[in-house]
Structures are given as C-alpha cells and as structure tokens.
Amino acid sequence: MPPYGMKQAMRKRSVIEARPGECVDPEEAMMQTAIEQSFKEGSGLSDMEQEYLKALEISRVEVEAEEQRRRQEAEELDRILKLSLVEK
C-alpha cells in the first residue's frame, strides 16, 4: 500500500483540482460541465455559487493554457532533437 502522500497523488482529480501536466479524466470533465450547467439552469445562483463558477472557469482556462504551453515545449524539444540528430 503506497504511503498517504503517494495515494493522494494517484487519485483522480476533478477539473477544479487538476494540476498542470495532469490529465483530467474526460468523463470527470463532462460531469463537471454538467454540474456547471445544472447550476446555471437552477432557480438562480447565489453570489457564492456565481463566484464558484467564475473560479471554476478561470481554473479550467489556466489548466488548458498550461497544457498548451507544455505541448508547445514538447514539440519544440522534439524539433530540436531531430535537428541535432540530422546534423550529426
């Protein structure tokens, strides 16, 4: 059995808990989106719920931007590696 910290690191994270570089389970992302939609379609959102949704959206945008940046870095490293192999 892994130590507590390792166990925590291995558990699935929701969209709002996702860290840069982590893959978010598509099913979990769909669930979070459905929850967000149900909040919007409800009898009206409290200020706290509106702030929560704003924070959720900001987090999602930040995670997407970080993933895009990491993909671009990986592509750049691959390109550099290929160029260095061609030069040899």
Whether residue 87 contacts residue 43, with contact meaning beta carbons closer than 8 Å, is answered with no
List Cα–Cα distances, 34 to 8, 29, 38, 62, in angstroms.
Answer: 25, 9, 6, 20
Q: What is the pLDDT of residues 6-48, one digit of tens each?
A: 444 444 444 445 566 666 677 877 888 888 787 777 656 678 8
Mean pLDDT score of the chain: 77
In the chain, where the domains are located = 46-88
**pLDDT given for residue 2 in this prediction:** 47
Confidence of residue 57 (pLDDT cuts 50, 70, 90): very high
Q: Which of 1-10, 43-52, 57-66 has the highest mean pLDDT?
A: 57-66
pTM: 0.46
**pLDDT given for residue 10 in this prediction:** 43
Residue type, 80: I
**pLDDT given for residue 65 in this prediction:** 94
